[in-house]
Every structure is written in C-alpha cells, then in structure tokens.
Amino acid sequence: MFLDPSRSFFHVTTEQAWLLTIAAFVIGLVVGGFLARWANRLCETPPRRKETGTTVLLTAALFALATFVIIALEGQYVSEVLPNVGWRYGRWIAHLGLTALLIVATATDLREYVIPDQITLPGIVLGVLLATVAGDTQLMHFWVDWNHPMVSMQGPEIPTWLKEHPHLHGFVWSLAGAATGAGVTWLARGISSAVLGQEAMGLGDVTLMALIGSVLGWQAVLFVFLFAPFCGIFVGLAVKAILNRPYVPYGPYLSVAAVVVMLAWRGIWNWEPTSHVSIRKLFGDLPSLGILAGVSLVLLLLLLGVIRWWRGGPRKTSQV
C-alpha cells in the first residue's frame, strides 16, 4: 500500500498512517486502563483479572484498527461527504471516543446486565454538541437522494440548506440519529416482549443506540440494528471462549455492530450489486426503508428466540 499525501483523504503518507496507528495503540493501552477502572466503579461485582486485561487490550487493538482503517484504508470516505481536513481528524477522534464508550458499556453489560446512564446520556449530549459545533463530522448528510431523474448528470440531490447552515445540519443529523437509534430499539423492545413473553432488551439498550446514532447518524444506526443479530453469533462464541458465559445480553451485539458499520461505512454505502439494487438509492426511498426496518425486526426476533431457547428461561436483562 502506498499513500500519496496529495491524493490521500487525510493528506498523509503510508509511514505517517502507520505512525498514527502505533500511537493509537499506545494511547489505547492508557485509555483501556481508565475504562477498566471506570467499569469497576460502575459495577458492584468485582472484576476477574482476565476481564481487566481484556478491556485494556481490546481498547488498544480497536483504537489501532480504527485508525488504520479510517486513515490508511480510508474506510469512511464517500463522495457525498467531504469534510475539511481538520474535521476529518476530528471525526476520527470522535469515533475513537464512541469506541471507548462502547467498550465500557459492554464491560458493564457483560458483568451485571446493566448499561448505566452515566455512560450513555453524557455520550449523547457530547455527540449532538460536537456535531452542532463542528457542522462537518457526519458519515452521511441528513438527506441524500440518488433516485431523481437527473442524477446521472447532476449527481445526487442534496438539500441546499445543508450547505448553507452547516451547524444546524449537524444538530439535525445527530439528533435524528439519536432519535432513530432509540426509536427502533424501543419498538423492538416492545415487540420482543410481546412475542417472547419476556423483556429481552432493556432501557440501557435504548439509550446505547441513541448514543450510537448521535455520533454515526440515522442511516448508519439502521445498519447497526440490522447487523446486530449477525454479530450476536460472533459475540456469543467469543464470550463463551473467553469468559465461559453461556448468556450474553444484547448490548454487546449492538456495540460490535456499531464498530463494524463505523469502519466499513464506505463499502456499505457504496454497495451496489446490480443496477437495480443500491444502498444509496434505498436511503432516498421511504418504502424501501420500511422494508429494511421490517427485515431487521424479523432478524432480531429470530435471534431473541434462539437466545430464549439457549437460556431456557428468563433472566435479568440489561436495563438502567
């Protein structure tokens, strides 16, 4: 791999990208220690030694991975969104911050089936505040339409007010992301309780998705919700192997899905297997969005059914 600074999205060379990745790993070790202590203060259950070490190493590894993917591989670059160079780095730092919050939320959820408000609520406020002040940290604009007839000549349709009022736009897309994340999770929580006869998701999951949406936006948070059931398989196997825990709450599934979407955003948004199937076009068409939401709910219910069968009965769920 060779990066030409004049053509790189972040204006860095390959060597500089590697240096940033190494620095992120070292910083992650320090931050991971802080996150482990924070999780310990939030939980009544004493941590196992391997849990603390896992938190530290996981933070360092994810910080390094996110830095390499975002900066060296330009995993978040899409043609519709071109922040100035300063806020490209600002968005990267914000996403490392989101990763840190997801790690500590996962740690508390795995230990006590709880995602405390001390993690999610300040994170939501900071997410909306950063988006508003910066006006240039979005993964995707609040609205982009690739379906209008002149798209081949003029490109996608983007409302003019987005450019004329960037700070208002930042507030709107972040707040919409928080509302979408909380809304779909609240709906799924109600449906799963009615269908399964037990509360499978807690209020902590609702606020966690609001946090994710406030940083990633409403389009991305829908994919987090869609991918979470698939991530559940991976997370369940990993927790079983590392911690010997047969049951995993839903919060870690959402956290893993958020990291996947955050790092794979360019591939997700630009995915177009055929001329008639396109993710970009889907997000400019309300009926298609409804279909996507329906598929997500079906996948969620299937996963929750498997979880209930695996558990063999109700247990305490992650809630505040």
Beta-bridge mates of residue 277: 274
68 in any annotated domain = yes
Q: What pLDDT shows up at residue 5?
A: 63
316 in any annotated domain = no
Q: What is the mean pLDDT of the chain?
A: 85
pLDDT tier for residue 69 given thresholds of 50, 70 and 90: very high
Q: What pLDDT shows up at residue 42?
A: 93
The Cα-based distances of 221 to 110, 193, 213, 299, 315 in angstroms read 22, 22, 5, 16, 27
173 in any annotated domain = yes
Q: What pLDDT shows up at residue 157?
A: 79
Q: What pLDDT shows up at residue 320?
A: 45
CA-to-CA distance for 45 and 143, rounded, in angstroms? 45
CA-to-CA distance for 197 and 314, rounded, in angstroms? 9
Its domain, for residue 97, covers 14-311
Reported as a single tens digit per residue, the pLDDT across 209-251 is: 999 999 999 999 999 988 888 887 776 666 666 656 656 688 8
199 in any annotated domain = yes
Q: What pLDDT shows up at residue 156?
A: 80
Lowest mean pLDDT, pick from 46-50, 84-88, 134-138: 46-50
4 in any annotated domain = no
CA-to-CA distance for 103 and 284, rounded, in angstroms? 33
117 in any annotated domain = yes
Lowest mean pLDDT, pick from 23-37, 104-118, 231-245: 231-245
pLDDT tier for residue 317 given thresholds of 50, 70 and 90: very low
| Of the ranges 40-44, 57-61, 309-313, the best mean pLDDT one | 57-61
Give me the number of domains the chain comprises. Answer: 1
Q: What pLDDT shows up at residue 148?
A: 73
CA-to-CA distance for 182 and 180, rounded, in angstroms? 6
Reported as a single tens digit per residue, the pLDDT across 130-184 is: 999 999 999 999 998 877 766 666 678 788 898 899 999 999 999 999 999 999 9
8 in any annotated domain = no
192 in any annotated domain = yes
Q: What pLDDT shows up at residue 241?
A: 62
CA-to-CA distance for 233 and 318, rounded, in angstroms? 18
Between these two residues, 7 and 45, which has the higher pLDDT value? Answer: 45
Q: Which of 199, 196, 260 is CA-nearest to residue 231?
A: 260
Q: What is the mean pLDDT of residues 42-61?
A: 86
* % pLDDT > 70, the chain: 83
